Amino acid sequence: MSFLILLARVIGSFAHIALVLAAAPAVIGLVGVLRARLLGRRGPAIWQPYARLRRLLRKDVLTPETATDLFPLWPYVCMAAMVTAAALVPGFCTGLVTAPLSDVITLAGLLALARAATLLAGLETGFGFGGAGAARDLLFSVFVEASLLVLLLTFGLIAHTQTVDGIAEALRASHIGISVSLGFALAAMLAIALTETGRIPADNPAGHLELAMVHEAMLLEYSGGLLALFEYAAMLRLIVWMDLIGTIFLPFGMARAQDVLSWPGGLALWAGKLLVMAVALCLFEVSTAKMRVFRVPEFLGVAMLLGVLSSVFLFVAARIGG
């Protein structure tokens, strides 16, 4: 019996990884279509990102003369770190075999590793835009990291565990209801996620002006398959953050990996949650303008403050309740 459970968990984990890896471009495509529709355009097909990746894979890989031998290494590191992060964050079900690994700080570390590889890629060729983009991304990351850690404390206090899987289990099982703390935490988490995934208001993924770019500016010298790796990593980053937000704030209806019969429901709900989050993202993006670079630290400072407040509310509640 326990062997069967383990088998189900292993199959569930592989299904999760395969689904996330396959769905990542589709989510970007969906966001693109929805955004275009909201702006009154027809927009590209939802499958456009897949076609783009395939086209990039067919193209030649151009290596700048001024780049060092490590030029091809950074896309691999960035992509591998993001794939690992995607394997750790639960999607449609909890109880993956990677659950013991899914410590929140490990996850933060993997995101930092992917970021470091991207920053080094930006500095690799020694051209102006890459360095400017890297410097800006680094500035954002300083505030992101601090706000994220404070938020993790809130989740840890509510769930009494430090793994993403454990937090999902705890929040699904207990009826915490709508609390002020979780509301603050959600607002902070959304601000962090928008910055991390390079969306408006921190960065514009559809921007064409190098001076205003952040994430794209670091990749300007990359081409062909190596660029495909970076773009794929960016797609994974969006779905990982959506999974993370879905797992923590919308944990209802998640399947259990050991219970095969719960999978179809979990899968359907997972797709629904991704759709809802994509719509919310588009609505937010079309109704907001991109910020100046030096406004973003203020934006994230508010997120950090909200994170601290959500913990403090929990402390006060524990004091009054206990």
Partner 1 sequence: MIGLPGQGLHWRVDALSALFLVILIPQVVAGALAGMRGSVAYWVFVAGMVLALAAGDAFTLIFGFELMSAASWLLVVQGDRRPATLYGGVAIFSGACLIPALFLQAGGLAFGLILLGAGAKAGLAPLHSWLPRAHPAPAAGVSAVMSGGMVKVALYVIIRYGFVVFGPAVQPWWGTALIAAGVAPVLIGALRAMLEVELKTMLACSTVEHVGLIAVGLGLALRAKALGDVGLAALGLQAALLCVVAHALFKPLLFIGVGAVKAATGTSSLNWLGGLMRGMPRLGGLMLAGAAGMAALPLGPGFAPEFLLLHAVLASAGGGGILARIGFTALLAALGLSAALALGAGVRLIGIGFLGRPRSLHAAAAEDIGGGTLAGMVLLAGLCVPVALLPGFVLARLAPVIILAVPGTVPPALAYAPLALALLMAVAGGAAWLVLRNAGTRREVAAWQGGFGPAPAWLPFGDPATQPSATGFAEPVWRAIGLGILGPGQVDPGEALVLAPLARINTRAARVAERIRRATVRQRLAFVFGALVAALMLLGLVQGR
Q: How far is the C-alpha of 240 from the C-alpha of 150, rounded, in Å?
A: 19
For partner 1, the binding residues in 32-91 under the rule CB under 8 A are: 57-70, 76-77, 79-81, 83-84, 87
Residue pair 84/253 in contact (Cβ under 8 Å)? The answer is no
> What does the block give as tokens for 62?
């151009």
Q: How far is the C-alpha of 294 from the C-alpha of 212, rounded, in Å?
A: 12
Which range of residues in 134-142, 167-175, 177-185, 243-251 is near partner 1 by CB under 8 A? 134-142
> What does the block give as tokens for 65?
């003369």
Which range of residues in 119-127, 169-177, 178-186, 265-273 is near partner 1 by CB under 8 A? 119-127
For partner 1, the binding residues in 232-271 under the rule CB under 8 A are: none
| Interface with partner 1 (CB under 8 A), residue from 43, 44, 156, 253 | 156
Which range of residues in 6-14, 142-150, 182-190, 241-249 is near partner 1 by CB under 8 A? 142-150
Asked if 139 is part of the footprint of partner 1 (rule: CB under 8 A), the reply reads yes
Binding mask 174-213 for partner 1 (x = CB under 8 A): ------------------------------------x---
Closer residue to partner 1, CB minimum distance, 83 or 281: 83
Q: How far is the C-alpha of 104 from the C-alpha of 101, rounded, in Å?
A: 9
> What does the block give as tokens for 182?
């979780």
Q: Which residues are CB-contacts of 36 (< 8 A; sequence separation ≥ 6)?
A: 42, 43, 44
Q: How far is the C-alpha of 57 from the C-alpha of 51, rounded, in Å?
A: 10
Enumerate the β-bridge partners of residue 255: 93
For partner 1, the binding residues in 277-316 under the rule CB under 8 A are: 293-294, 297, 304, 308, 311-312, 315-316
